[in-house]
Amino acid sequence: MTTVLRRVAPQLLTLVAVIMLVSIYFPSFWQIVYVNERLVGIPIDVIKRGAPVALLAIGMTLVIATRGIDLSVGAVMAICGASAAWSIDQGFGLWAALGIALVAGLICGLWNGLLVAVFDIQPIVATLILMVAGRGIAQLITGGTILTFDNDAFSYLGSGTLLGVPVPAVIWVLTGIGFGLLVRRTALGLLVESIGVNLRASTLTGINSRVLLIAVYMGSGFCAALAGIIATADIRGADANNAGLWLELDAILAVVIGGNSLLGGRFSILASILGAMIIQTINTGILLAGFPSEFNLVIKAVLVIIILVLQSPRVLPQLAYLWRGRRDRSQRPKQSQTSQQNAGTETKT
C-alpha cells in the first residue's frame, strides 16, 4: 500500500495542484449538490467527462508497458459505438448491443495484436492501420450518417446515475479495479513488465510473449469498446467521424503523465487514471475559466509540458543536486581552507 502511494504521489500532488489552480479561477469548484437523484458539481462533471480517456488509459498503460503503443483506440471507439447503435437500431436489445460492441473491440485488439506479435510489425505502424481504416469501417456500419436511436436502457450507460454518481464514472472505476486486480493478483503484471523490458530474454525464459502481447492489445480494444459505448450512449447516437476523435493522444498523454515510460517495463494503472483525471480537470478548468476557445489547446499544452518537465527523471535529480550542491558549496570552502592551511604549515616547517 505504501509502495503504491509512493508510486502515485507525483500524480496525486499534480492533481491537487491543478485542482487548486482551477479553484482560484472558479472558487465554487467544490460545490456539489444533490438534485433529481444525481450529484451535480464540477468534480462530478470531471469524473464523468473523463471517463473515455480514463478507460482508454487503462488499456493503453498495458500496451505501453510492453513497449508498444495503440494509436487505434479512438477509431476503435467509433467502430464499437457504431456497432452498438446499429444493434439497437436493428432492435437487438441492450445486451446484444453491448455484446456486439465489446466483441468488436476485442476483434480490433486481436487484429492489432496479431500484426504486432505474429507479423512483427512495429506497434506504431501496426495500430496506425486501424487508426486510419477504423473510421471508414465505422462509417460503413452507420451507413454514412449519424445513427441515432432511442433506447433508455442503453443511454443510461452514458447519462444515467447510480446512487447519484454518473454511470460512466462507475464504469471506469470498476474497469480500473478489475484490470488492476487482474494484473496484480495474478502474475500477468510481472510478465507484461518483463516482456516490455526485454522481449528476447523473456521469451528465452519461457514467457509466452506472443500470446501475452495479443492479450494486451485485446485488453486495449476492450477498454476502447467500453469508451465507445459510453460516448454513443451519452449522445444517443453514433458519429463515425467524431466519436473518440484524437482521444488516443489524450490516452497516451494520460499514461505518460502517469509516469509510465514509453520504453516499457514498470507500469501503474492507477497513476495513468490519475493522469486522465489531471487532463480532464485541465480541460474543464479552461472551459470554466472562460478563456476564448482558441487558447484552450495552447494552455493545455503549456500545463502538460510543465507537468512532464517536473516529473522527468532527469530534472528531479538535477533539482535535488542543485539543492544539495548549494548546501555543499556553503560547507566546502571551509574544508578546502583547512586543507590549504595544513599545506601551508607543512611548507613552512
Partner 1 sequence: MLLSTRDLTKTFPGTRALDAVSFDLKAGEVHALLGENGAGKSTLIKCLTGAYRRDSGDILFEGQPIFPQSTLEAQAIGIGTVYQEVNLLPNLTVAENLTLGHQPRRLGMIRSRAMNAQADEMLSGYGIDIDVRRTLDQYSVAVQQIVAIARAVHLSGRVLILDEPTASLDAREVQMLFDVVRDLRARGLGIIFISHFLDQVFEISDRLTILRNGRHIATCPAAEVDRMQLITLMLGHELQQETATRARPVADGKDAIRFSGVGRRGRIAPFDLTVHKGEVIGMAGLLGSGRTESAEVLFGAAPSDSGTVEDSDGPVDLRNPRAAIAAGFAFAPEDRKTDGIIAELSVRENIILALQARRGWSRPIPQAEQIRMADDYIARLDIRTPDAEKPVGLLSGGNQQKVILARWLATNPRFLILDEPTRGIDVGAHAEILRLIEDVVAQGMSILVISSELDELVAVSHRVIVVRDRQHVSQLTGEDVTTDTIVRAIAAPDLTPEATT
Q: Minimum distance between the CB of residue 343 and partner 1, rounded to whole angstroms?
A: 13
CA 289 to chain centroid? 24
Are the C-beta atoms of 291 and 299 separated by less than 8 Å?
A: yes
Q: How many residues bind partner 1 (CB under 8 A)?
A: 22
In 170-236, where do the E strands start and end?
A: none
- Residue 187 in the binding site for partner 1 (CB under 8 A): yes
Nearer to partner 1, 173 or 182 (CB): 182
In the chain, the amino acid numbered 164 is G
Give the 3-state secondary structure of 87-150: HHHCCCCHHHHHHHHHHHHHHHHHHHHHHHHHCCCCHHHHHHHHHHHHHHHHHHHHCCCCEECC
Residue 244 CA to residue 226 CA, distance in Å, equals 12
Please report how close the Cβ of residue 199 comes to partner 1 at its closest, in angstroms: 10
Check binding of 186 to partner 1 (CB under 8 A).
Answer: yes
Cβ atoms 240, 141 nearer than 8 A:
yes
Task: Based on the shown chain and the rule CB under 8 A, indicate whether residue 268 belongs to the binding site for partner 1.
Answer: no
**Residue with grid cell 465554487, as numbered in its chain:** 28
CB of 122 to partner 1, least distance (A): 18
| 319 sits near partner 1 (criterion: CB under 8 A) | no
Q: How far is the CB of 259 from partner 1 (least distance, A)?
A: 14
User: Using an 8 Å Cβ cutoff, are 130 and 248 in contact?
Assistant: no
User: Which residue in 151, 194, 260, 280 binds partner 1 (CB under 8 A)?
Assistant: 194
Output the smallest distance, CB 208 to partner 1, in A: 6
Instruction: Check: CB of residue 207 under 8 Å from CB of residue 221.
Output: no
The C-alpha cell of 330 is what?
Answer: 556553503
Choose which of 23, 159, 198, 311 interacts with partner 1 (CB under 8 A): 198
Q: Which stretch binds partner 1 (CB under 8 A): 41-49, 68-76, 108-116, 196-204?
A: 196-204
Residues in the chain: 349
Q: Could you tell me the smallest distance in angstroms from the CB atom of residue 318 to partner 1?
A: 11
Q: How far apart are CA 258 and CA 272, in angstroms?
A: 4
Torsion of CA 98, 103, 105, 111, to 10 degrees: -170
Per-residue contact flags (x/-) with partner 1 for residues 166 to 185, judged by CB under 8 A: -------------------x
- Does 188 engage in binding with partner 1 (CB under 8 A)? yes
Q: Which of residues 55-114 bind partner 1 (CB under 8 A)?
A: none
In contact, 233 and 158? CB cutoff 8 Å: yes
The candidate with the shortest Cα–Cα distance to 246, out of 94, 73, 37, is 73
- Cβ proximity to partner 1, 198 vs 242, nearer residue: 198
Is the Cβ of residue 91 or residue 317 nearer to partner 1 in the bound state? 317
Quote the Cα angle for 28-282-275, to 5°.
120
User: Which residue lies nearer to partner 1 by CB, 206 or 292?
Assistant: 206
Minimum distance from residue 207 beta carbon to partner 1 (Å): 5
| Cβ pair 225, 76 in contact under 8 A | yes
Is residue 260 a contact point for partner 1 (CB under 8 A)?
Answer: no
Is residue 201 a contact residue for partner 1 (CB under 8 A)?
A: yes
318 binds partner 1 (CB under 8 A): no
Helix, strand, coil percent content, the chain, rounded in steps of 5? 75, 5, 20
Interaction of residue 327 with partner 1, rule CB under 8 A: no
User: Smallest Cα–Cα separation from 256: which of 6, 11, 1?
Assistant: 11
Contact pick of 206, 290, 292, 313 for partner 1 (by CB under 8 A):
206
The mark string for 211-230 relative to partner 1 (x by CB under 8 A, - otherwise) is -x------------------
Residues of this chain that interact with partner 1 (CB under 8 A) are 185-188, 190-191, 193-194, 197-198, 200-208, 212, 265-266
